[in-house]
Amino acid sequence: MSEAPSTLTRLAHRLAEDVARGTPQQGTPAQLDVQRYLDPRRLEAELALMRRGPVILAHASELPRSGRLAVQRLGLPLLLSRDAQGAVYGHYNVCRHRGMRLVEPGAAECRSFVCPYHGWTYALDGRLTGLLHRETFDRLPLGLRPFPLVERHGLLWGWPALEGREPPQDPQQWLGGIGAELDYFGLTQAAVFRRTEVERRCNWKLVVEAFLEGYHIRVLHRDSIYPFFLDAATISEPVGPHFRSAAARRRLSGLAPGTIPDLRLDCTFTHYLFPNSVLIFHPDYTSLITLWPLAPDRVLWSHALLVPAPSLTEDTREHSDRSFELIERNVFQNEDLVACEGIQAGLASGANVSLSCGSLEGALGQLHAEWDRRLSEGVTS
């Protein structure tokens, strides 16, 4: 493995010092207005911002060479494709003739797209390459409606609201130092072991918040992951609009002073990537979580478990099965998401006008301040 980026080792060191001193990081307490989670106009503005991108649409291993991946994201039917040379393309999954959906959701190998209605045919790069009775049309489109899509750090980044192929920026720039960290954690060499998608009844931001503070681990996760973690020992810092954070595992408290902590065994890094993704670097696998808002009180939870690609053998499959069961079902579905739904159920009651965040939850106030700033910059489409 390559040398760890100093951005990670520095944060792990600070966390180890905090643990040794017994003083967890303190942030600024905040009050969060409940309308943030209820207002449909706010959700529309958030969706508009997300559609402008960049958003993580898939892990690179989910898009076959000479093939496609069709997904419904942010209310848009999107079609990702990869040609035989490995180049990737983003288009709307909508026929240019009379608007039929071109392909069913999911991944498949293919050489072209043939519309099931009248048979218009498109190449993987979106060009219209064939149609019956061409002479009966006075005007023909050049091809499918494109949006910018690029592959970086093992992920597919899209700007769905933009028309054309040219991305407005490189994800590496967008991520600040985090791009090198994703490389260090091996995302480019990883493969998706399994992905779960499930609709849950809560605002998407409540789910992000659950990954931005460690205050709840001792109680909510008492019987699942708390045995592996120290109480209230997390550290986080903003990186542009994103967050880099680390939670102390119990092993960290036994570390000799001055020793460099193991970045996966002594602590667990969790990165929030603006606007709607969370990456968690567990000891031997990675969770890639993307949250797709459907309504103020509904979200599509999408969780891909990434494992090092060469380790996908029969022997490791059983281990990965157990890991997925523990983290996806026992922890995320039955604990974190149940809590988020429990909050959402009470939001409209008027019991709380605002929600209180203490100094152990300092990242939440920062997260909302960043969203407020970006929304006020005036996104209208």
Binding region for ligand FES (CB under 6 A): 95, 97-98, 100, 115, 117-120
> Which are the contacts of 257, defined by CB distance < 8 A and separation ≥ 6?
20
Shortest spacing between CB 335 and Fe ion, in angstroms: 6
Shortest spacing between CB 301 and ligand FES, in angstroms: 32
Residue with tokens 């069961």: 325
336 is a contact residue toward Fe ion (CB under 5 A): yes
Quick one: what does residue 40 bind among Fe ion, ligand FES, none, with the CB cut-off 5 to 8 Å set by partner type?
Answer: none
DSSP state of 262: P
Phi, psi of 265 (to 5 degrees): -100, -30
| Residue 103 CA to its chain's centroid (Å) | 24
Shortest spacing between CB 379 and Fe ion, in angstroms: 30
Phi, psi of 77 (to 5 degrees): -85, 110
Shortest spacing between CB 119 and ligand FES, in angstroms: 6
Nearer to Fe ion, 144 or 206 (CB): 206
Quick one: what does residue 120 bind among Fe ion, ligand FES, none, with the CB cut-off 5 to 8 Å set by partner type?
Answer: ligand FES
Show the 3-state SS of 336-376: HHHHHHHHHHHHCCCCCCEEEECHHHHHHHHHHHHHHHHHH
Q: Is 262 exposed, middle or buried (0-12, 13-18, 19+ CB in 10 A)?
A: middle
Quick one: what does residue 336 bind among ligand FES, Fe ion, none, with the CB cut-off 5 to 8 Å set by partner type?
Answer: Fe ion
What is d(CA 63, CA 114) in angstroms, rounded to the nearest whole number?
19
**Residues 354-373 contacting Fe ion, CB under 5 A:** none
- Residue 79 has a CB neighbour count (10 Å cut-off) of 26
Asked if omega into 308 is within 30° of 0 (cis), the reply is no
Shortest spacing between CB 112 and ligand FES, in angstroms: 13
Closest CA to 9 of 263, 249, 200, 231: 263
Shortest spacing between CB 94 and ligand FES, in angstroms: 9
Quick one: what does residue 46 bind among Fe ion, ligand FES, none, with the CB cut-off 5 to 8 Å set by partner type?
Answer: none
Classified as helix, coil or strand, 184 is helix
Candidates 17-25, 32-40, 330-338, 360-368: pick the segment binding Fe ion (CB under 5 A).
330-338
Quick one: what does residue 118 bind among Fe ion, ligand FES, none, with the CB cut-off 5 to 8 Å set by partner type?
Answer: ligand FES
Quick one: what does residue 312 bind among Fe ion, ligand FES, none, with the CB cut-off 5 to 8 Å set by partner type?
Answer: none
Nearer to ligand FES, 95 or 306 (CB): 95
Nearer to Fe ion, 115 or 212 (CB): 212
Nearest to Fe ion by Cβ — which residue? 336
Cβ atoms of residues 123 and 68 within 8 Å = no
Quick one: what does residue 299 bind among Fe ion, ligand FES, none, with the CB cut-off 5 to 8 Å set by partner type?
Answer: none
Classified as helix, coil or strand, 37 is helix
Residue with tokens 């909508």: 94
Shortest spacing between CB 143 and ligand FES, in angstroms: 13
Cβ atoms of residues 157 and 123 within 8 Å = no
**Residues 205-234 contacting Fe ion, CB under 5 A:** 210
Nearer to ligand FES, 132 or 256 (CB): 132
Quick one: what does residue 115 bind among Fe ion, ligand FES, none, with the CB cut-off 5 to 8 Å set by partner type?
Answer: ligand FES
Nearer to Fe ion, 182 or 339 (CB): 339
The residues that touch Fe ion, with contacts defined as CB under 5 A, are: 210, 336
